[in-house]
Amino acid sequence: MTTGDASTPRVIVQGAVEGAKHVSLSNICHGRTFDCAFAPRERWESVRGAHFDEILVTCGEDGAGRVFGVRAGDNDGIVTLERMGAARGHTEEVVRVSCARASGRFATGSADGTCALWSLEATGELKAETRFEGHPGEVYGIAWLGEGTGADGLATCSETEVFRWDVERGTLVEKAGEREAMDSVSESAATPERWRPGYLFSMAHGGGMLACGCSDGVVRIYSDGKSNRFGALVVELPVHPNAIVGSTCFVGDGLGLISVGLDGTVVITDTRMWRTVRRVTSDSQLTSACEVGLGSEWFAIVGRSGIVRTLSAFGDSNPKCTLEAKDPVPLYCVASNERGTMLACAGAGVPSKTPALAAAFATKRPDPSRLDLFY
């Protein structure tokens, strides 16, 4: 078996050759964990006076975002996870989280129709900054447009609309995609009534574009406002017929776009011509995808099977490696750090196997979820 080349992220090489190392942290959320994201490393080199190699943020069903410090042992290379704090304030489940590149902030999107802005202070304390209101429904997509400051700081999506927010003033700059503007969109009989005509379920930013996966199987591409009016519809890609598109991500410095659907398909699109390069079929529903390592052609996918698969957008269509935790559960999110040395994933609650605990949780639903980290 080959060991890969210098362009292959280390976590993939490690997993393909001898199996990636793995660490778990239980009870990270009282219920399902819906999203996770690594913060840019240079912003978090010293918090609470202790060195962390990475900072990881999660969010979930209990209405909170949570921050974890990731530390690699200097000698043994063993990775440990440390709970740092919880971002509370949403009144319903938190479904999306995204970290800014340079401002030390992260944003959470919730089913309560708001997006909240948070910062992690040098003391390790979480600070609530701003709450963006006025979305018509759940906030299923968040993307930082710049460094995390100023008028072009943050984009969100809710129902059929995309929004741009000034993160310093906490005000709406502009929005696009109102429902009446979507009348021409064809409706599939398989699309639930409350999600017609094409609700936006994800948002990824790259190459001056916002890629949103929708409930009608279409990936809609909008301008991020740099070279065209913000929210201007660039192209519609009907690449997942009759299936909800749960996740989108850019790879290869924006040259490739990955979308995954609940129909178990992965579609790789060349953004230069908006042409489908390859379609890969999985044996189970897929829920999330992420680029592995900043600017690489590699990506990871997860779903109901509980297995993490890594693939190349422009190379062999077979998975380079598969990663699986003990007692796998359906996964709803996957994230990579910028260096491509770690992959984090989480999802459904983990039922207790201890009789006493199982009895205690029998009247308390849902089960708490677990965070898995491969390195």
Helix (H) or strand (E) holding 13: helix 10-17
More confident residue, 225 or 353: 225
User: Could you tell me if residue 216 is inside a domain?
Assistant: yes
Q: Say whether pLDDT at 361 is over 50.
A: no
User: Could you tell me if residue 57 is inside a domain?
Assistant: yes
pLDDT band at 184 (very low <50, low <70, confident <90, very high): very low
Strand 245-251 with 233-237, pairing: unpaired
Select from 361, 263, 332 the least CA-distant residue to 30.
361
Residue-range definition of the domain harbouring residue 229: 34-323
User: Could you tell me if residue 7 is inside a domain?
Assistant: no
Q: Are 337 and 5 in contact (CB under 8 A)?
A: no
User: Could you tell me if residue 359 is inside a domain?
Assistant: no
User: Could you tell me if residue 112 is inside a domain?
Assistant: yes
Bridge partners of 165? 154, 172
Residue 351: what pLDDT? 67
User: Could you tell me if residue 371 is inside a domain?
Assistant: no
CATH number at residue 62: 2.130.10.10
Which CA distances in Å does 142 have to 237, 320, 323?
Answer: 20, 29, 27
| Lowest-confidence segment of 116-130, 176-190, 261-275, 359-373 by average pLDDT | 176-190
Q: Are 366 and 61 in contact (CB under 8 A)?
A: yes
pLDDT band at 7 (very low <50, low <70, confident <90, very high): confident
User: Could you tell me if residue 118 is inside a domain?
Assistant: yes
Q: Strand order in 298-303's β-sheet?
A: 286-291, 298-303, 307-312, 321-324
Q: Are 28 and 368 in contact (CB under 8 A)?
A: yes
Select from 89, 31, 101 the least CA-distant residue to 62.
31
Residue 47: what pLDDT? 55
Q: How many domains are there within the chain?
A: 1
User: Could you tell me if residue 6 is inside a domain?
Assistant: no
Mean per-residue pLDDT over the chain, rounded: 85
Select from 359, 350, 341, 367 the least CA-distant residue to 56.
341
